[in-house]
Amino acid sequence: MSALPRLPDLLPPENAEALARAVAGVDAPALWWMSGYLAGLAHTRGPVARETPHRTDLPADVEPEPVAESRVAPSLTIVYGSQTGNAKRVAEQWAAQIESAGLRARVLRADAYPLRELKDEKLLGVVISTQGEGDPPEDSFGLFEFLDGRRAPNLAGLKFAVLALGDSSYPQFCAVGHRLDARLAELGAERLHACTEVDVDIEAVAAPWRNDLTARIKALQPSTDLPRASVTPLRRAPSPPAVDRDHPASLTLLAQQRIVGRHSEKDVRHLEFDLAASGLRYEPGDALGIWPRQPDAVVDDVLAAAGLTRGAMVELDGQQRAIESWLAEYREAIRPGKSLLAALAEDDRHAALREVLAEPSRIAPWLAATSVPIALRRHRRAWTPEALVRALRPLTPRLYSIASSSREVGDEVHLTVDHVQYRLDGIGHRGTASGPLADLGEEGTVRAFVQPNEHFRLPDDPDAPIIMIGAGTGIAPFRGFLQERIAQGAKGRAWLLFGAQRFASDFLYQAEWLKARKQGQLDRIDLAFSRDQIDKVYVQQRVREQSARLRAWIDEGAHVYVCGSIAMGQAVHAALCDVLRDRPAIDGETAEQQLRALQQQGRYSRDVY
């Protein structure tokens, strides 16, 4: 084995030999990556010295070149807070762009960011989404608690930028991003860029935002005639996976079954898809993203309402398609967005719509009360094919919690889907994705991808107790959890608290849960069926009733999981605070802090939608 040049003089002999063995046969790209990795290690063990100390043990002819700190490119920390993966994807794309520009970047999820380092940051980018009624993503509660608390540092030396992701059909559009932006400025940090709002058409705003900030950060490099230190990325830029959100797999339906009783007010389906040739893999707790194809009848209804016909070609963002193709697979043909409201308000006849636009609190209710074809008929204007496509929201994938474990079902993935049906203006509507899924027959296909949910995982220790609290289709991931634990032969106790409308018709997967209970694979079940008695009973009431037992499980190391609607998640969160507060010397604020601490420890996880 050939010796590495001069390394025996710089390192102890045994270290030099180990390094030589480690790099033997490694190609050039991997060596470049390793050099960046080692540089990152050096950075974590101390600041870059203005001048490398003289080593007395070096040969006389070896004199290290002084490395001026001012010649090193600025380092950017990118923190993301993400519930559905969008913020993470934007953050990683930006990091790759930063590194391609010869700069340094690191990407961290909000709950993985070492908060003690914030006071020393010079450049910070934050990509964060807003959930439900203005809540931060699950991974970002700790960040906000720190910034809002007494330990928040003075940030006078920090330059920052916030990209706020949201959905303009919700009242608190991008509220979390604005809140974070304001707080960082309040702590003394300087904005590199005004807080930027991003609606569901993410790339239309995120791409120019990234380009602008990359140029601004590059301009911060000190001007000098001396050669700059070469900068190697601290990580290899991630290669796009073979199957992802933008490159979905085609999955074939194996089976579909309605799993509620004939008298149920809901239509809940159990679907099984074949993964064998897809390249997709998942863990319990992950979601399956479905790219819906909207039915021809919906497309034709929108075209008729706009006074247009099939066949017109529309070019948008470099893509040319027939208008019916845009409406079937690339634009929301049922749910309107703020962009449609704005386009309709341009007509002089629709002054009332301009009044709605002028009051942000009125936008979400207006959007919720109509559909695309209804809005087009009610507020008529002249449309060109291109104008209509531009006015409609981009079609987004629908995420469904996976209801299976691959240890149990092999190359399959199971879903629990509520077939959404409702009426507006006397006209029947169906869910954009759930409607076509309900119509899918055997051998039918969907375009799909796996959306990892890193915050909703079973504990690493299979013997740790788990408490699963869900309502309606929120039971789906818990079916996967139980299958996984049974396949593992886990010894940890398991407890299900489940709520629905009626025991006789809405106890989803009833036979499986009762079988597991009988065989000792599920230690306890507590049920809440709201319509089986005059006074409605919800799962959060069962949580309060079981306060003493829940505290005992939590004290013994149990992990708590909550899955269901946003409203249900908020109600259960309040009930859990009451559970922790129901002991001496614990007030509401302390109970909330204890619950947040469990969340930061990974022992309290929510999947709400």
pTM beyond 0.85, yes or no: no
* % of the chain beyond a pLDDT of 70: 84
- Count of domains forming the chain: 5
Identify whether residues 309 and 276 lie together within a single domain: no
* % of the chain beyond a pLDDT of 90: 71
CB 579 within 8 A of CB 533: no
Give the Cα separation of 556 and 565 in Å (integer). 28
| CATH number for the domain harbouring residue 515 | 3.40.50.80
For residue 220, is pLDDT > 60? yes
Identify whether residues 339 and 425 lie together within a single domain: no
Residue scoring higher pLDDT (134 or 471): 471
Q: Determine which of 261-275, 494-508, 586-600 has the lowest per-residue pLDDT on average.
A: 586-600
Whether 49 is covered by a domain: the verdict is no
pLDDT at residue number 588: 72
Tell me what the mean pLDDT of segment 198-227 comes to: 82
Give a three-class secondary structure readout of 40-94.
HHHHHCCCCCCCCCCCCCCCCCCCCCCCCHHHCCCEEEEEEECCCCHHHHHHHHH
Tell me what the mean pLDDT of segment 11-30 comes to: 54
pLDDT at residue number 5: 43
For residue 362, is pLDDT > 80? yes
Residue 176, token pair as written in the block: 């979390």
Whether 357 is covered by a domain: the verdict is yes
Identify whether residues 592 and 486 lie together within a single domain: yes
Tell me what the mean pLDDT of segment 393-405 comes to: 96
Most confident of 224-233, 238-247, 411-420: 411-420
pLDDT at residue number 586: 72
Which one, of 299, 353, 301, lies nearest residue 331 by Cα? 299
Give the Cα separation of 230 and 475 in Å (integer). 52
Residue scoring higher pLDDT (57 or 390): 390
Tell me what the mean pLDDT of segment 440-446 comes to: 93
Whether 105 is covered by a domain: the verdict is yes
For residue 568, is pLDDT > 50? yes
Q: Determine which of 166-170, 433-437, 574-578 has the lowest per-residue pLDDT on average.
A: 166-170
Burial 250-288 (b: 16+ CB within 10 A, else e): ebbbeebeebbeeebebbbbbbbbbbeebebebbbbbbb
**Residue 232: pLDDT band by 50, 70, 90 thresholds?**
very low
pLDDT, one tens digit per residue, over 297-340 is 999 999 999 999 999 999 998 899 999 999 999 999 999 999 99
Mean pLDDT (the chain) is 86
For residue 541, is pLDDT > 50? yes
Q: Which residues contact 361 (CB under 8 A, 6 or more apart)?
A: 171
Render 464-528 in DSSP notation, one character per residue.
Answer: S-EEEEEEGGGGHHHHHHHHHHHHHT--S-EEEEEEES-HHHH-TTHHHHHHHHHTTSS-EEEEE
Identify whether residues 98 and 15 lie together within a single domain: no
Q: Which residues contact 315 (CB under 8 A, 6 or more apart)?
A: 386
**Strand locations in 409-553, DSSP E?**
412-418, 421-424, 427-430, 445-451, 466-471, 494-500, 524-529
Residue 200, token pair as written in the block: 């569901």
Identify whether residues 322 and 427 lie together within a single domain: no
Identify whether residues 39 and 92 lie together within a single domain: no
pLDDT at residue number 35: 53
Q: Decide the pairing of beta strands 559-564 and 319-322.
A: unpaired
pLDDT at residue number 46: 42
Reduced to 3 states, what is the DSSP secondary structure of residue 418?
Answer: strand
Whether 243 is covered by a domain: the verdict is no
pLDDT at residue number 235: 46
Give the domain-ending residue among 391, 415, 438.
Answer: 391
Give the Cα separation of 497 and 195 in Å (integer). 41
| CATH number for the domain harbouring residue 443 | 2.40.30.10
Give the Cα separation of 221 and 124 in Å (integer). 15
Identify whether residues 146 and 213 lie together within a single domain: yes
pLDDT at residue number 73: 53
Give the Cα separation of 415 and 273 in Å (integer). 8
Tell me what the mean pLDDT of segment 39-47 comes to: 43
Q: Where in the sequence is the domain holding 277, given as residue range(s)?
A: 249-292+397-451
Q: Determine which of 107-116, 229-238, 391-400, 424-433 has the lowest per-residue pLDDT on average.
A: 229-238
pLDDT at residue number 600: 84
Identify whether residues 479 and 570 lie together within a single domain: yes
pLDDT at residue number 609: 86
Identify whether residues 332 and 349 lie together within a single domain: yes
Give the Cα separation of 302 and 164 in Å (integer). 31
| CATH number for the domain harbouring residue 381 | 1.20.990.10
For residue 72, is pLDDT > 70? no
Give the Cα separation of 547 and 517 in Å (integer). 21
Residue 429, token pair as written in the block: 């509507």
Burial 111-125 (b: 16+ CB within 10 A, else e): bebebeebeebebbb
pLDDT at residue number 515: 97
**Residue 555: pLDDT band by 50, 70, 90 thresholds?**
very high
Give the domain-ending residue among 349, 371, 391.
Answer: 391
Identify whether residues 601 and 490 lie together within a single domain: yes
CB 286 within 8 A of CB 449: no
pLDDT at residue number 590: 84
Whether 36 is covered by a domain: the verdict is yes
pLDDT at residue number 239: 55
**Residue 584: pLDDT band by 50, 70, 90 thresholds?**
low
pLDDT at residue number 34: 55
**Residue 32: pLDDT band by 50, 70, 90 thresholds?**
very low
Whether 478 is covered by a domain: the verdict is yes
Most confident of 82-86, 140-144, 342-346: 342-346
Whether 541 is covered by a domain: the verdict is yes
Give the Cα separation of 328 and 583 in Å (integer). 56
Give the domain-ending residue among 391, 410, 426.
Answer: 391
Amino acid type, 580: L
**Residue 426: pLDDT band by 50, 70, 90 thresholds?**
confident
Phi-psi region of 521 (alpha: psi -120 to 50; beta: other; left: phi over 0): alpha
Identify whether residues 580 and 476 lie together within a single domain: yes
Expressed in percent and rounded to 5, the helix, strand and coil fractions of the chain are: 40, 20, 40
For residue 42, is pLDDT > 50? no
Whether 376 is covered by a domain: the verdict is yes
For residue 6, is pLDDT > 60? no
**Residue 585: pLDDT band by 50, 70, 90 thresholds?**
low
DSSP 482: H
CB 609 within 8 A of CB 417: no
Identify whether residues 279 and 404 lie together within a single domain: yes
